Homo-oligomer: A and B are copies of this chain.
Amino acid sequence: MDIENLVKEKDIKLTTARTEILEKLIHAKKPLSYDDIKKDISMDKATFYRNITKFEKKMIVNSFESNDKKRYFEIFESPHPHFVCVVCDSVECIKKHLEFKLSGYTIENIILKGKCKKCNQI
């Protein structure tokens, strides 16, 4: 997965700031918050948030709200659930498919909260 491909046909200018954000997210193993990312990028936080908002509109990035009042971002892939640990606040993608139906509702996002593997062993 490369950046050129991500923004192709999305009608978006590839500035230095945007490249920095996408570069970081592409290589991340987990969804990241602005706080996780800020040390590695050079732009102002206003620029970060304005760009990430644009990425979300263009379906390049998606995000969800965690337990710790922070928003977590990842490169948009096929929708999958996320796990948030209430002990250590870590966030993980759950690749296992979870089937879920609720008639009348459209489910776009599933967030599971609880204790992660690591915190369960303690």
Q: Is there an interface contact between A102 and B106, defined as CB atoms closer than 8 Å?
A: no
Judged by a CB distance under 8 angstroms, whether A29 is at the interface is no
Can you name 24 A-B residue pairings with CB atoms under 8 Å?
Answer: A65-B66, A65-B67, A65-B69, A69-B69, A83-B102, A86-B108, A86-B109, A94-B102, A96-B102, A98-B100, A102-B112, A104-B117, A105-B112, A105-B116, A106-B115, A106-B120, A107-B112, A107-B113, A108-B113, A108-B114, A109-B112, A110-B110, A110-B111, A110-B113
**A117/B100 in contact, CB under 8 A:** no
Q: How many of A's residues come within 8 Å of B, CB to CB?
A: 27
* Cα–Cα distance between A65 and B112 once the two chains are bound (Å): 12
Q: Mark A1-41 against chain B: 1 for CB-CB distance below 8 A, else 0.
A: 00000000000000000000000000000000000000000
A residues at B contact (CB < 8 Å): 64-67, 69, 83, 86, 94, 96, 98, 100, 102, 104-117, 120
Most chain B beta-carbon contacts within 10 A, residue among A96, A98, A102, A107: A102
